[in-house]
Copies of this chain bind each other. A is one copy, B any other.
Amino acid sequence: MSAAPTPALSAPVEDYLKAIYDLERVGAPASTNDIADRLAISPASVSGMMRRLAEQRLITHEPYRGVRLTGAGRTAALRTLRRHRILECYLIEVLGYEWDGVHDEAERLEHAASDELIERMAARLGNPTRDPHGAPIPTRDGRVEEARLRTLADVVVGEHVRVRRVQDEDAERLRYLAELGIRPGALVRILDRAPYDGPITLWVGESAGTTRAIGAGLAAEVFVEPLGPE
């Protein structure tokens, strides 16, 4: 048995911690409004929850300044993230779900599944390290390799990149990306960028690829890695 003195967090609390983790990962402390936007909850409600989370020492809160996860908060967030991502893997690989249909299901199950279930699923999958959208899966003891990736929106014309990860929240966007051939592992060359956040024209695929164009908003949800010379 692992050492888990955790007093069991409610589903809303787990969702807040995940959101804060994700916001903090990108940059500075998470702001009330950003959390509210992400969870589709009023800022006032977020304020209230921040007080409760701070009382439980899951975050530190500087009023008007934002919020940071404590060690315990980070651990809890990573635990939920692990559950979510293993569930996504399992639903796709074992139960035949589509790429774009797993997020919501995993979102609900992650709060109900026991550690035992998650670990059984992980074992069945061969303990994967990335989920189907390319997100790294935290280990049981709370380690993640959180690569600082650029997005397609940051890439310059002429560059060759490999898609590493895409945001999984929005089923429709995922469906569209899949249609374009943009999924983890895909090769992309940037052919052109229209100014003022205009569409990005790119070449998707290995040798026999195709030319496509995507908007800047969507491009910011596609994380890529520059390709080594070859």
Residues of B within 8 A of A96 (CB): 120
Residues of B within 8 A of A116 (CB): 105
The closest CB in chain B to the CB of A124 belongs to: B95
Residues of B within 8 A of A112 (CB): 108-109, 111-112
Residues of B within 8 A of A105 (CB): 113-114, 116-117
Interface presence of A219 (CB below 8 A): no
CA distance A116 to B95 in the complex (A): 10
Interface presence of A191 (CB below 8 A): no
Q: Are B111 and A95 in contact (CB under 8 A)?
A: no
Residues of B within 8 A of A120 (CB): 95-97
CA distance A91 to B117 in the complex (A): 8
Residues of A within 8 A of B (CB): 91, 94-97, 104-105, 108-109, 111-114, 116-117, 120-121, 124
For the complex of A and B, list the 8 residue pairs with the smallest distance between their C-beta atoms, beginning with the closest. A112-B112, A108-B112, A95-B120, A109-B112, A105-B114, A105-B117, A96-B120, A109-B113
